[in-house]
Amino acid sequence: MLSLPSEPGLHRLCSPNDIPAIVVRGAATGPTLLVSAGVHGDEYEGVRAIFETVEELDPQALRGTLLTAPILNYPAHRAVERNHPADGGNLARQFPGRADGTPSERLAFAFDSEFLPHADFYLDLHSGGIRFAMPSMAGYETADPRGRAAAEAFGAPVIWGHPVIEPGRTISSARARGIPFLYTEARGAGRIHPDDLLMMRRGIVNLMKHLRMLDGRPEIPAPPLRLHGIGNTDEGVSATVDGFWMPSVSLLEPVRAGQPIGRIVSEIGEVLAIPEAPADGLVGLLRKLPPVSAGDVLLLVAAREEA
Ligand SMILES: [Zn+2]
Q: Domain of 247: which CATH number? A: 2.40.50.100
In DSSP terms, which residues pair with 276 in a beta bridge? 260
Q: Are 217 and 290 part of one and the same domain?
A: no
Q: Are 58 and 103 part of one and the same domain?
A: yes
pLDDT of residue 13: 94
Centroid of ligand 1 to alpha carbon of 129 (angstroms): 7
Centroid of ligand 1 to alpha carbon of 83 (angstroms): 10
Residue 114, CA distances (Å) to 24, 40, 178 in order: 17, 19, 16
Q: Are 174 and 52 part of one and the same domain?
A: yes
State the CATH number of the domain containing residue 88: 3.40.630.10
Q: Are 173 and 85 part of one and the same domain?
A: yes
Please list the helix, strand and coil fractions of the chain in percent, rounded to the nearest 5, in that order. Answer: 25, 30, 45
Report the SS3 class of residue 255. strand
Distance of alpha carbon 193 from alpha carbon 89, whole angstroms: 27
In DSSP terms, which residues pair with 20 in a beta bridge? 14
Contact by Cβ (8 Å): 179, 150 = no
Residue that terminates a domain, selected from 228, 260, 282:
228
Centroid of ligand 1 to alpha carbon of 269 (angstroms): 32
Contacts of 85 (CB under 8 A, 6+ apart): 41, 75, 76, 78, 79
Supply the range of the domain harboring residue 290: 237-304
In a domain? residue 3:
no
Residue that terminates a domain, selected from 193, 228, 263:
228
Full 3-state SS string of 162-189: ECCCCCCCHHHHHHHCCCCEEEEECCCC
pLDDT of residue 236: 82
Q: Are 92 and 209 part of one and the same domain?
A: yes
In a domain? residue 4:
no
Report the SS3 class of residue 282. strand
Distance of alpha carbon 13 from alpha carbon 19, whole angstroms: 9
Contacts of 46 (CB under 8 A, 6+ apart): 35, 36, 37, 38, 70, 125, 126, 127, 184, 200
Distance of alpha carbon 301 from alpha carbon 135, whole angstroms: 12
Contact by Cβ (8 Å): 161, 217 = no
Q: Are 53 and 72 part of one and the same domain?
A: yes
Q: Are 21 and 140 part of one and the same domain?
A: yes
Q: Are 67 and 198 part of one and the same domain?
A: yes
Centroid of ligand 1 to alpha carbon of 146 (angstroms): 22
pLDDT of residue 235: 59
Q: Are 133 and 260 part of one and the same domain?
A: no
Which DSSP string do the residues of 79-145 spell out, in sequence order? HT-SS-TTT---GGGSTT--TTS-HHHHHHHHHHHHTGGG-SEEEEE---TTTEE--SEEEEETT-H
Distance of alpha carbon 107 from alpha carbon 168, whole angstroms: 13
pLDDT of residue 161: 92
Nearest CA to 111 among 11, 17, 14, 6?
Answer: 17
Q: Are 191 and 81 part of one and the same domain?
A: yes
Note down pLDDT in tens along the chain; length 307 residues: 899 999 999 999 998 888 999 999 999 999 999 999 999 999 999 999 999 999 999 999 999 999 999 999 999 999 999 999 999 999 999 999 999 999 999 999 999 999 999 999 999 999 999 999 999 999 999 999 999 999 999 999 999 999 889 999 999 999 999 999 999 999 998 899 999 999 999 999 999 999 999 999 999 999 999 998 776 555 589 999 999 999 999 999 999 999 999 999 999 999 999 999 988 889 999 999 999 999 999 999 988 887 5
Residue that terminates a domain, selected from 175, 193, 228:
228
Centroid of ligand 1 to alpha carbon of 167 (angstroms): 15
Q: Are 33 and 129 part of one and the same domain?
A: yes
Centroid of ligand 1 to alpha carbon of 203 (angstroms): 17
Centroid of ligand 1 to alpha carbon of 41 (angstroms): 8
Residue 298, CA distances (Å) to 18, 178, 246 in order: 35, 34, 10
pLDDT of residue 277: 92
Centroid of ligand 1 to alpha carbon of 38 (angstroms): 7
In a domain? residue 1:
no
Centroid of ligand 1 to alpha carbon of 8 (angstroms): 31
pLDDT of residue 231: 62
Q: Are 151 and 268 part of one and the same domain?
A: no
pLDDT of residue 16: 86
Count up the domains in the chain and report the number.
Answer: 2
